[in-house]
Structure 1
């Protein structure tokens, strides 16, 4: 283990130019041996891992937290600047982050830990970057899960009409007004109350890290690109397909951590995934909601580290 551990602060930002966009990231224990990237959920940022990076940094892990494009302190491009924002784009961002930021420091395979949307991005990376990823810890994994292999026949004219209709809807939808009302009517507070089972963990720092990005003037245009991108993504970018692809090789060990009080993505979906894909390990945390890593960090950190420690290559 690196005996010269330096105490860094997750609030200390680093900036990286990715395809002309400013991307924000933080790191703790950068000179350590085992690289980990922490990927936040929808509406959150790298700071949501405030109670996790230090724990892993003290255990020989170079712990990186990345603001996905459109979130946190990273740029918030719209459709005109970047096109559709979806998990393929965020996967490309992670891929280039590994190549340009991590690889000059380490050649080891990278561990991905994601919350909700970040878990879907991690799964996408595990399929696309299979040879570079050591393991994925998803807590929890969003997206509808389908067990059957029925092929969905997309009629070209209907598909075009659907795409145009969805695109038009989000372009005329007054997202600027909606985001303004969300901040003024304390809807964010209601959302956090639904996401967290333990209400005491909803502090000022948490409310700020969720609210401040929404107040930026570019937030609505980026949200529009996400709504269109996630609504119209190909089936190959959905969790059911990605899990099936990952199952065919089983090269990337996959751990699900799920709160039994998750109001956003119910536990039965996690059980459904684990029952269908027997190679996926499911750990259920009692009395925990959607953001276990922040709501009950000591439990989340212990489960995650034990999983990492027990991997054969370590």
Structure 2
């Protein structure tokens, strides 16, 4: 659910808030790309916006040739919406391991592939303002519901080891399987919040499948056991166990899984409350009310192990771009700036006046950044 969209926001307490290790002093504020700054100042309309998105990628000569024409759905797909830019969004399901059904959406029939990965509590529809525009601009754009979220299967974690199903290693496997079986070629991966951990993990696990990674306000995982104050660790673990294994957790979930509450939490995450619409609340809340969603939620909020973004960013062997909405109340921009010094981070970009979910709050800023990212760092597959 969206109340989980900022997974680093403590549900109980955060313990000691440690920060990513600084690799070298930061000497200057990162520059927002010229196209982003100009759009924020000019307030252009949708038609000019679409043209500018195409222009962003033109210098690289590979993202767009003027926009791909709408094609036809593949077997098992259907058109779920037409964007205001005239691009169809196709939706389908495919079967992953154990018979789990995974939902995905796509737009565009040719060009470099881009896979969009949502954060905790999100789903494909959190990229509804990006998938179609990327497809129209000349990409093959895909978004995916991670296992347990959206309309993907929600297998019960009760008969498994805690955090063995809903964990970044498993989601990494899911993303890599999707790239291999549905996309069919190495792919640029774009992620928001905790989705950034899954995307980076996929790149570390098999860089032959991931050409580059862009992370938007990546979760810093402040409830990770290594970031908790030593004295608080047993209390955090005990509270998580109570939520996961008793009716208290279900009652907590039920109290939060309400339109008004979800809307209020989104208005915390988004800097501009006017961008939190009834449509957005419905997109997030409705799949979160499906059977099994409560167990997924309770299992994940008890997940205090696994990888950290700072560790993955040191290991990732592909070009990485870090994007940060500077008004994020949960993942503070001051912490995000630390990543600018990492050798693997090719660009660090701040978006002024934007909160935790930039792709939805300000797609007019984010889409040009994503096209520029694909144009610079996606490696086309060599023919022959």
Please indicate the TM-score interval, normalised by the length of the shorter structure: 0.7 to 0.9
Change (3 A) 1:3 1:62: closer
Cα distance in 1 between the residues matched to 2:342 and 2:183: 34
Are residues 1:25 and 2:25 paired? no
Change (3 A) 1:133 1:278: closer
Cα distance in 2 between the residues matched to 1:197 and 1:161: 33
Match of 1:61 in 2: 139
TM-score relative to the length of structure 2: 0.69
Q: Secondary structure at the match of 2:171?
A: helix
Cα distance in 2 between the residues matched to 1:312 and 1:71: 28
Number of matched pairs? 290
Are residues 1:171 and 2:249 paired? no
5+ unaligned residues in a row in structure 1: which ranges? 146-150, 153-158
Match of 2:314 in 1: 244
Checking the alignment, whether the CA contact within 8 Å between 2:215 and 2:323 is kept in structure 1 is yes
Q: For residues 1-314 of structure 1, what are the structure 2 equivalents within 5 Å?
A: 1=65, 3-6=68-71, 8-9=79-80, 12-19=90-97, 20-29=99-108, 31-80=109-158, 83=161, 84=163, 85-103=166-184, 107=185, 109-144=186-221, 167=241, 170-172=244-246, 174-184=248-258, 186-228=260-302, 230-231=303-304, 233-234=305-306, 237-246=307-316, 251-277=317-343, 279-311=345-377, 313=379
Cα distance in 2 between the residues matched to 1:175 and 1:162: 14
Match of 2:48 in 1: none
Cα distance in 2 between the residues matched to 1:179 and 1:166: 13
Aligned-pair distance for 1:55?
1.3
Aligned-pair distance for 1:160?
11
Checking the alignment, whether the CA contact within 8 Å between 2:176 and 2:209 is kept in structure 1 is no
Aligned-pair distance for 1:43?
1.1
Q: Secondary structure at the match of 1:281?
A: strand
Cα distance in 1 between the residues matched to 2:113 and 2:362: 23
Q: Secondary structure at the match of 1:43?
A: coil
TM-score relative to the length of structure 1: 0.83
CA RMSD of aligned residues (A): 2.7
Checking the alignment, whether the CA contact within 8 Å between 2:112 and 2:140 is kept in structure 1 is yes
The answer to which structure has the higher helix fraction is 1
Aligned-pair distance for 1:121?
1.1
Checking the alignment, whether the CA contact within 8 Å between 1:39 and 1:113 is kept in structure 2 is yes
Q: Which has the higher contact order (CA 8 A, sep 6+)?
A: 2
